[in-house]
């Protein structure tokens, strides 16, 4: 950072807020400031550092396997045979006998004969001794064995390298790429289930809170049918595996409501003898990495799926930390994370393992794109629009059965790509029918609730945005994260736009400007991206909207109208995605736009973390007047 002449104020701030729990602290190892006019005194170098010149601006840390005491002008080497020391050490430590945890296995790259060999290497930097009593020796290399085939969608370029099939071709990974038959399209993606070498789209790195970057071997190592975390300098190190997806390919068939541009699925397990953590993170357009899910402790082999709702450049990362409470130089090599397969659908840069039917246009060679809301007729290979009152099923646009009926109280959009509420509803009770028209509640509305306070005492609010009905079902509600995307404080055009979500309903955490110099919005989540239906019943599609969450109505004869929504944003706690209910209640004396309330016992809007409930009270939620609501009064004649 280039400082200006005169007084400067430098701030350090975190990249997000975890307000529901006490976060782990951010530790700053050292700060160097050069060019100051003077210093009041010189300080002796602390143990583990030295200064060999007069007038030095700072002390240097001792290199590995050396040490120093306070005020040293040089570092003393440890006995290389019997002792070792980490960089910046004030003493040397005895080298222990080598154990099975001091080495790891490595699969060599495929050779020209398509063979691989299992070898063993010492964990670097090596700290143990082989010549002590009870020490283990490095095992001999194993026999040569056949390499696994290429991954699906790839073919063997030579004996040691695989390349993706070109567009319009497919392969199962064993055979050469073949052209898709006429009337079909290749289904692109990245499917990794064989791990003999790290794919070109992936990279690994090790980051240490003590040494900035780890020394030694790769942070993740391949093992044939899996890839597993390696070993860092200590168990606190972060072992990062990253997958780059430049963009997701547009398909040649039109998709419908609730559709995502792609999904990523991976199968993994964690083997921990200590307090380990395994994180899955997503970074879009290099704006910021967001922790999507975290697993703590040992976990059996399991699968996890994440939906990608919008297109763009993505980095998916897996981060393993062997022991979050480890000592600085401790290495628990018995702990690891293993990933057995990664499958990214519709991803650019990958190949196809199969082809699927698509529409064929007259006089056009190959496939043609179907408009939104159209399915592919399997007999004629033509694009056919869905009927009124139906919408196209996500990623299943084949045959008439691809058009799904809209839920009760909803209608299809003009392009039949989605269903939506047109802000009207009718309800029959006995001999009377109630008609509701709450068009005035269409468009964008918001509500802020709180304040709440973090464990540190920071005041924050929950802000909800709603796009209840109308607008052909367009997702107008937007919640942003401006913590790391401040246009005035970040560099580059890609970082000037706040990250966020766009949905029918969303929530963000707001730290007001009276707490910070500017208002901060963080942790945006989508609560609704498609409507299930509108009804007066308290449940629909396994979503419950208990009336007991809210106070009794002042007009009990008029029923509440409930909108049911779902979101495809899945988590471990919410494997089916989030859901939301908006209960419209007649309040003749309230303001036109009404008032939005949360459940009394659940001030965050949810009582289980997955389903959110809202009460919207407004005179617009009252039924329209009919001839039953007035009576004819005939006055008697007076004076003639």
**185 and 272 within one domain:** yes
- pLDDT at residue 35, as a whole number: 74
Is 316 within the bounds of a domain?
Answer: yes
Give which of 631, 529, 516, 524 is closest to 578, Cα–Cα: 529
Q: Are 383 and 370 in contact (CB under 8 A)?
A: yes
Residue 621, helix vs strand vs coil: helix
**Hey, which of 302-306, 328-332, 508-512, 612-616 has the most confident mean pLDDT?**
612-616
**581 and 443 within one domain:** yes
Q: What is the mean pLDDT of residues 280-295?
A: 84
**433 and 337 within one domain:** no
Per-residue DSSP letters for 251-310? PSS---TT--SEEEEEEEEEE-SSS-EEEEEEEETTS-EEEEEEEES-EEEEEEEEEE-S
The three-state (H, E, C) secondary structure of 29-52, written as one string: CCCCCCCCCCCCCCCCCCCCEECC
**576 and 620 within one domain:** yes
Is 70 within the bounds of a domain?
Answer: no
Is 598 within the bounds of a domain?
Answer: yes
- pLDDT at residue 232, as a whole number: 65
Expressed as residue numbers, the domain containing 108 is 103-146
- pLDDT at residue 18, as a whole number: 43
Q: Is residue 118 exposed (0-12), middle (13-18) or buried (19+ Cβ within 10 Å)?
A: middle
**229 and 140 within one domain:** no
**180 and 139 within one domain:** no
With 0.85 as the threshold, say if the pTM is over it: no
**207 and 312 within one domain:** yes
Kindly indicate the confidence band of residue 543, based on its pLDDT and cuts at 50, 70 and 90: very high
- pLDDT at residue 494, as a whole number: 34
Q: What percent of the chain has pLDDT over 90?
A: 38
**445 and 348 within one domain:** no
**449 and 525 within one domain:** yes
Average pLDDT over the chain, rounded to an integer = 83
Q: Are 203 and 116 in contact (CB under 8 A)?
A: no
Is 388 within the bounds of a domain?
Answer: no
User: The domain spanning residue 551 has which CATH number?
Assistant: 2.70.130.10
**455 and 338 within one domain:** no
Q: Which residues pair with 420 in a beta bridge?
A: 411
Question: Higher confidence at residue 632 or residue 325?
Answer: 632
Residue 21 has pLDDT above 70, yes or no: no
Q: What is the mean pLDDT of residues 611-636?
A: 85
From CA 179, how far away is CA 189, in angstroms rounded? 16
Residue 99 has pLDDT above 80, yes or no: yes
Is 8 within the bounds of a domain?
Answer: no
Q: How many domains does the chain have?
A: 3
Question: Higher confidence at residue 451 or residue 16?
Answer: 451
**441 and 329 within one domain:** no
**596 and 454 within one domain:** yes
């Amino acid at each position: 950072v280039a400082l200006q002449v005169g007084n400067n104020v430098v701030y350090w701030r975190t990249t997000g807020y975890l307000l529901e729990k006490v976060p782990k602290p951010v530790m700053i190892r050292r700060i160097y400031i050069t060019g100051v006019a003077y210093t009041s005194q010189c300080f002796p170098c602390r143990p583990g550092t030295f200064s060999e010149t007069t007038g030095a601006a700072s002390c240097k840390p001792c290199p590995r396997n050396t040490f120093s005491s306070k005020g040293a002008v040089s570092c003393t080497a440890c006995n290389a045979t019997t002792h070792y020391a980490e960089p910046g050490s004030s003493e040397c430590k005895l080298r222990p006998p080598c154990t099975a945890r001091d080495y790891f296995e490595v699969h060599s790259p495929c050779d020209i004969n398509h063979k691989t060999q299992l070898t063993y290497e010492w964990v670097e930097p090596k700290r143990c001794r082989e010549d002590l009593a009870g020490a283990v020796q490095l095992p001999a290399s194993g026999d040569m064995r056949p390499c696994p085939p290429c991954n699906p969608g790839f073919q063997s370029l030579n004996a040691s390298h695989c390349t993706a099939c070109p567009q319009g071709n497919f392969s199962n990974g064993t055979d050469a790429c073949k052209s898709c038959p006429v009337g079909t399209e290749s289904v692109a993606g990245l499917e990794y289930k064989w791990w003999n070498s790290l794919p070109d789209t992936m990279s690994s790195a090790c980051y240490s809170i003590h040494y900035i970057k780890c020394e030694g071997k790769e942070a993740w190592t391949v093992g044939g049918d899996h890839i597993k975390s390696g070993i860092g300098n200590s168990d606190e190190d972060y072992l990062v595996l990253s997958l780059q997806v430049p963009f997701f390919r547009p398909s040649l068939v039109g998709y419908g409501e609730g559709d995502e541009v792609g999904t990523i699925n991976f199968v993994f397990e964690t083997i921990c003898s200590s307090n380990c953590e395994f994180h899955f993170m997503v970074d879009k357009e290099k704006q910021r990495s967001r922790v999507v899910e975290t697993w703590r402790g040992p976990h059996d082999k399991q699968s996890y799926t994440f939906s990608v709702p919008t297109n763009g450049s993505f980095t998916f990362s897996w981060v393993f930390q062997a022991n979050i409470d480890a000592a600085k130089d401790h290495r628990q090599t018995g702990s690891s994370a293993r990933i057995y397969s990664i499958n990214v659908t519709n991803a650019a840069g990958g190949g196809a393992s199969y082809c699927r039917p698509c529409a064929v246009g007259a006089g056009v060679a190959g496939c043609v794109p179907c408009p939104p809301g159209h399915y592919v007729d399997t007999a004629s290979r033509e694009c056919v629009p869905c009927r009124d009152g139906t919408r196209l099923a996500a990623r299943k646009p084949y045959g008439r059965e691809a058009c799904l009926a809209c839920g009760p109280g909803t209608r299809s959009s003009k392009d039949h790509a989605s269903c939506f509420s047109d802000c009207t509803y009718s309800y029959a009770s006995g001999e009377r029918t109630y008609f509701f028209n709450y068009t005035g509640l269409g468009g964008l509305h918001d509500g802020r609730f709180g304040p709440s306070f973090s464990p540190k005492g920071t005041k924050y609010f929950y802000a909800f945005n709603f796009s209840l009905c109308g607008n052909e079902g367009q997702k107008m509600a937007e919640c942003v994260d401006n913590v790391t995307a401040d246009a005035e404080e970040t560099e580059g055009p890609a970082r000037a736009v706040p990250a966020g979500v766009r949905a029918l309903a969303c929530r963000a955490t707001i730290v007001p400007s009276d707490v910070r110099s500017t208002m901060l919005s963080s942790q945006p989540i989508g609560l609704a991206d498609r409507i299930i239906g509108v009804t007066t019943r308290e449940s629909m599609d396994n979503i419950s909207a208990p009336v007991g969450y809210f106070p009794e109505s002042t007009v009990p004869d008029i029923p509440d109208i409930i909108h049911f929504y779902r979101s495809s944003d899945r988590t471990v706690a919410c494997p089916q995605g989030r859901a939301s209910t908006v209960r419209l209640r007649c309040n003749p004396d309230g303001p036109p736009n009404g008032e939005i309330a949360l459940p009394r016992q659940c001030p965050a809007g949810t009582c289980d973390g997955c389903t959110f409930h809202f009460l919207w009270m407004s005179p617009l939620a009252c039924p329209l007047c009919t001839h039953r609501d007035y009576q004819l009064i005939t006055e008697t004649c007076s004076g003639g």
